[in-house]
Structure 1
Amino acid sequence: MSQQYGAPQQPPAPGGWGPGPAGPQFRSPAKSSKTPWIVMGGAVLAVLLIAVGVVLLVTGGGGKDSNTPVARPDDKVTPDPIGTMYTPEPTEAPKAKGPNDVGVEVGKGVWFTPAKGWLQGPDKTISGKYWILQEFNHRGFIDGYFWVRQTTLYDAKGFAEHLVDIESNGFKNVRIGKGVMVDCQTDVLKSCYSINYTADVPSKSGKLLPFKGFVTAYQDKFGQVTATDAGLESRVYDRRVNELIAMNNSVIKSYL
């Protein structure tokens, strides 16, 4: 497929795939023009204010009618609500490797198992993990690809539709099917979505080659979305579809 009629397209950096802009540049603090006497005077004033504050805290403000409560050793303290600065939301604990985590580690506890005959793509700079199916005569062309990517910028439906738009860009006669929500096979997943498409892909010779592809996306309870993205020539798709299903199922099994 790729060199014959276009390699899988890498998502653009603005969508969250590339490094973000450089962080803010902080200037070095300027030297103070104040004299040592002024600085010393400020320090003395600060000590006096702290002393006054301690006295007010111990005495409850010095007035009998003060409504400010005074903390006692036996008082029960109510914690700040979850999500505040002092009580942050719980973070996801690292997932231990399970019996279904075999093959290729995608990230965040997600794995997939490449089918026999599929090879790792040569471009190591591409986001996610992608595997290719070489053409039978090994002339440097490939018949298809299987790509696994992750994001937290979309939900399952949004990420799947985003990837279909990217993959089909530049193809001819693109026909995108109606996406559907599918049943998630584990309680770890809260949203699962699938969509497929067909197109005609220009080859180097100018001939249009029929092409089939699909994207499935799985969103877990922590908001992480993992998408599987596959595409093959139509003449290859029908005899290799079971391999695509097996690789896709291996991703789902890694959640179990």
Structure 2
Amino acid sequence: MSQQYGPPPGPPPAAAPGGWGSGPGGPAPVGPGGWGPGPGRPQQGRPAKSNRSQLIIIGCAVLAVVLVAVGVVLLVTGGGGDDKPAAVQTPDAPGTYYTPPAGSEPDDSKGPNDVGVKVGRGIWFTPAKGWLPDPRSKSGQNYILQQFNVRGLIDGYFWVRQTELYDAKGFAEHLVDIESNGMQNVVIGKGEECKPANEAIKACYRLNYTAKIKTAKNGLIDYQGFVTAYSDKWDRITATDVGLETRVYERRKDNLKSMNDSVEKSF
């Protein structure tokens, strides 16, 4: 059964004392079959109220359409400021990434002075006659000088090593500390800054030392060495780490110089 909206059964409730009432002049006349229209409101005014409500609803709908249209325009034009509309902004051209200037990156390709043994980072050196690669070397290039007619014993070494953890001075000092550790009567000379002829070398630092080392029979022999560390313009450090028994040093110092020079020329 369909539900019908109609007047509630029985007479309308009386106004509660002290609350909202019918106002001066007594209760309003009750319309037929429903609640009264209230004081001073004519029964025939109800249709006018309906027309007014329809006009308000239509006006609100028109206003909503106008607001939506304005919002769309603002969205497309970017708010009406000085910026270009989003629809006509020009995107960045593809492939316009930063390109470093020429010469700002290291060129480690083989050059005319790169002769002999490749160390790394564009550095080479030329071993002197009689110097052999050390099979135990784990970094850089280490060449050893065997004792004459004595298998398994060496008179010294020439080791080219590289790092980016130190500057030239710091690496030279670090290597001298490592090499002289365990030796006796160690005397480390005063370090000095050197100036090679090769302009590609940004910095150079040299450090000498002397010491005594134990022999297999617990004897002591004189020993001496030096470290020369070079920095290129990208702060990459290459060092020549040299140690020899003093008794053969004078005979081999020309070997040491030629090998060291070959490293300097390779920068």
In the superposition, the TM-score normalised over structure 1's length comes to 0.67
Q: Residue type matched to 2:130 in 1?
A: G
Structure 1 residue 105 corresponds to structure 2 residue 118: yes
- Residue in structure 2 matching 1:122, options 127, 131, 135: 135
Q: Residue type matched to 1:129 in 2?
A: Q
Q: Residue type matched to 1:117 in 2?
A: G
Q: Residue type matched to 1:96 in 2?
A: S
Structure 1 residue 168 corresponds to structure 2 residue 180: yes
CA distance in 2, matches of 1:56, 1:224: 59
* Higher RCO (CA < 8 A, seq sep 6+): 1
Instruction: Report the secondary structure of 2:112's partner residue.
Output: coil
- Higher alpha-carbon Rg: 2
Gap runs ≥5 in structure 1 = 1-54, 80-85
1:156 corresponds to which residue? 168
CA distance in 2, matches of 1:206, 1:189: 43
Q: Residue type matched to 1:119 in 2?
A: L
Residue 132 to residue 67, structure 1, CA distance change in 2 (3 Å) = same
2:247 corresponds to which residue? 235
1:247 corresponds to which residue? 259
Q: Residue type matched to 2:242 in 1?
A: A
Gap runs ≥5 in structure 2 = 1-71
Instruction: Report the secondary structure of 2:80's partner residue.
Output: coil
1:36 corresponds to which residue? none
- Consecutive aligned runs of 4 or more in structure 1 exceeding 6 Å deviation: 55-58, 66-71, 88-91
**Which whole-Å deviations, capped at 9, do the CAs of 1:99-138 have from their partners, x for residues lacking one?**
21111000011000000011111214x2110000000113
- Residue in structure 2 matching 1:206, options 183, 197, 218: 218
CA distance in 2, matches of 1:188, 1:56: 63
CA distance in 2, matches of 1:194, 1:202: 26
Deviation at 1:168, TM superposition (A): 0.3
Query: Would the aligned equivalents of 1:195 and 1:215 in 2 still touch at CA under 8 Å?
Result: yes
Residue 68 to residue 160, structure 1, CA distance change in 2 (3 Å) = farther
CA distance in 2, matches of 1:188, 1:74: 43
CA distance in 2, matches of 1:69, 1:206: 88
Deviation at 1:184, TM superposition (A): 3.0
CA RMSD of aligned residues (A): 2.8
Deviation at 1:92, TM superposition (A): 2.5
Instruction: Report the secondary structure of 1:106's partner residue.
Output: strand
CA distance in 2, matches of 1:243, 1:58: 79
Structure 1 residue 136 corresponds to structure 2 residue 152: no
Aligned length: 191
CA distance in 1, matches of 2:127, 2:92: 60
Instruction: Report the secondary structure of 1:204's partner residue.
Output: coil
1:64 corresponds to which residue? 80
CA distance in 1, matches of 2:73, 2:106: 44
Residue 148 to residue 59, structure 1, CA distance change in 2 (3 Å) = same
Residue 74 to residue 122, structure 1, CA distance change in 2 (3 Å) = closer
